[in-house]
Amino acid sequence: MLEDLLTPIIHNLKGFDLIIIGFAAINFLVMIMVFTHAKKVKNRIYPVGYQPDDFNDNEKKQRTRAELKQEKVEMLKNRADSDKRYTWFVNTSSIFPLLGIVGTVLSLIPMVQGTENMEQNFYLALTSTFWGLAFAIVFKVFDSFLAPRVDLNIHGIDDYLQKIESELVETK
């Protein structure tokens, strides 16, 4: 019985399910990139922890306008990178249910043409649906940990940029 169940699943791993699993591997790498970038940005703007008003008390040395402008450019780049990477992760994560449906439809189309291999085609359809939904759920769980970190960084970068702007005004 178990062999009858596993045979079509293993067979379909060579087909459309492999595309879904490959796409999941790529999305997992993107998620790691987002997490790594978010951690790097967090360590840059909160070196000792969250400090909303005294973020640079430990750096009270006077910075030149050029240094402040360079810092501003780097922070703007970090914010754009965070937005781009996180948006890519969220968008690709939302595609998995659709990939499962595509695999289901592709597996069911031959059933319309004839009744041979109907059971195997039905298993193939279900495995595509399973993988699409399984990866959608997994990446949604990962997103629930990643989203607050990215949001905190975006707000932190905005606060940091306001502080830089006020320093730029003071140095005029």
Give residue-wise pLDDT tens across range 77-109. Answer: 999 999 999 999 999 999 999 999 998 888 888
Q: Using alpha carbons, list the distances in angstroms from residue 122 to 4, 7, 129.
A: 13, 13, 11
pLDDT tops 80 at residue 43? yes
Whole-number Å distance between alpha carbons of 153 and 42: 6
Give residue-wise pLDDT tens across range 3-19. Answer: 776 676 676 777 788 88
Whole-number Å distance between alpha carbons of 89 and 142: 10
pLDDT of residue 66: 86
**Token pair listed for 48:** 């000792």
At a CB cut-off of 8 Å and minimum separation 6, what does 66 contact?
none
Give residue-wise pLDDT tens across range 106-155. Answer: 888 877 777 677 777 777 788 888 889 999 999 999 999 999 999 999 99
pLDDT tops 60 at residue 57? no
Query: How many C-beta atoms surround the C-beta of residue 27 within 10 A?
Result: 21
